[in-house]
Amino acid sequence: MKAAASLSSHVTKHQFVYGLLREAIRESGRIGIAKFILREVQHLAAVEVVEQALVLSTLRFADELVDSGTLSLPKRTTVGKKELDMATTLVESLAAEWNPEKYTDDYRENLMRVIKAKMKGKKADLVAEEQPRDAKVIDLMERLRQSLDASSGRGRQRGAASARGKPRAARTTARATRRRSTR
């Protein structure tokens, strides 16, 4: 009864219990594990504290996991510094700030278009799906080189023109400076 009496007039009992659970999980440094049913299917989830919210993240049941030993994954190999630098540069060139608005539920949007169109007796105008990627095996290193050349083509041409006539050491230093300045 004391807990209920200590509630301020604007905080409901549900809000108090939510806040109490959130702070207990935060204080313990643990996450909760829960099972819930969504669309007639049982799911496993982690309940964790993120800022002021309790966040539910779905997990997989043990029988849904695949033993990685049954997969034919490439063995860990020594990678050359040049190749690793090139691949890292490609990843960095493709990196961007996380923008959740960029990702939309196309299925739901198309479903709503179909429903609205049927209500009007018309045919729906659907958002096209991304084209399936080509399944051909590609030379990753060659693709990396092409991508890097395309993304820095102008800078390389300008840099090459200004580096002509300089000793090799000066050109190498100029290239290294340009690389650092683009990051």
CB-CB contact of 163 with 108 (8 Å): no
Residues 89, 167 within the same domain: yes
Look at residue 94 and tell me if it is in a domain. Answer: yes
What residues have CB less than 8 Å from 147, skipping those under 6 apart? 90, 93
Q: Please give the structure tokens belonging to residue 166.
A: 């300089």
Q: Please give the structure tokens belonging to residue 154.
A: 């102008």
Query: Domain count of the chain?
Result: 2
Residues 53, 87 within the same domain: no
Residues 104, 159 within the same domain: yes
Question: For residue range 10-22, what is the model confidence (pLDDT) as tens digits?
Answer: 678 899 999 999 9
Bridge-based pairing state of the strands 41-50 and 53-59: antiparallel
Q: Which strands, in side-by-side order, build the sheet including 41-50?
A: 32-38, 41-50, 53-59
Residues 18, 100 within the same domain: no
Residues 87, 53 within the same domain: no
The single-letter DSSP state of residue 51 is T
CB-CB contact of 90 with 148 (8 Å): yes
Domain that residue 165 falls in = 81-128+137-181
Look at residue 108 and tell me if it is in a domain. Answer: yes
Question: For residue range 34-45, what is the model confidence (pLDDT) as tens digits?
Answer: 999 998 999 999
Residues 95, 144 within the same domain: yes
Residue 135's pLDDT is 60
Look at residue 50 and tell me if it is in a domain. Answer: yes
Compute the mean pLDDT over every residue in the chain, rounded to the nearest whole number: 77
Look at residue 75 and tell me if it is in a domain. Answer: no
Question: For residue range 44-74, what is the model confidence (pLDDT) as tens digits?
Answer: 999 999 999 999 999 999 999 998 889 888 8
